[in-house]
């Protein structure tokens, strides 16, 4: 499965967060698109509208398990998608910003 390290992501890279609502509200990467894995198939159109046409979709969850499932689904649909290795836990540990909906400092639930 295609993966990417948090350290290889740059500001402005498209990020899809597939964690559930309570996890998202506790803290997320600023600018990420949030579609919980439990709603993903029903809300797939939101991703295809928001994702860059010729860009990569970086899929993230808490630790990498759920995002791996979504990444495999996207790859099967012909989308250039990669799993963010280690998920939001590694994101936060690397010192990347984690924010709440109102821009305040958040945390990984």
Just list the catalytic residues: 61
What's the helix, strand, coil split of the chain in %, to 5?
35, 15, 50
Q: How many CB atoms lie within 10 A of CB 56?
A: 16
Q: Which residues of 80-89 are buried (b: 16+ CB within 10 A; e: fewer)?
A: ebbbbbbbbe
Helix residue ranges per DSSP H, 1-109: 21-26, 44-50, 65-76, 87-93
Do 84 and 62 form a contact (C-beta atoms < 8 A)?
no
| Partners of residue 49 on adjacent β-strands | none
């Amino acid at each position: 499965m295609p993966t990417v390290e948090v350290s290889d992501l740059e500001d402005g890279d498209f990020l899809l967060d597939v964690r559930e609502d309570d996890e998202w509200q506790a803290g997320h990467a600023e600018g990420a698109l949030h579609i919980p894995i439990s709603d993903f198939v029903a809300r797939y159109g939101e991703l295809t509208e928001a994702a860059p046409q010729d860009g990569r979709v970086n899929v993230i969850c808490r630790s990498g398990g759920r995002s791996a499932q979504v990444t495999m689904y996207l790859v099967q649909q012909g989308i250039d998608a990669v799993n963010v290795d280690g998920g939001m836990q590694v994101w936060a540990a690397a010192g990347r910003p984690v924010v709440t909906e109102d821009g305040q400092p958040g945390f990984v639930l």
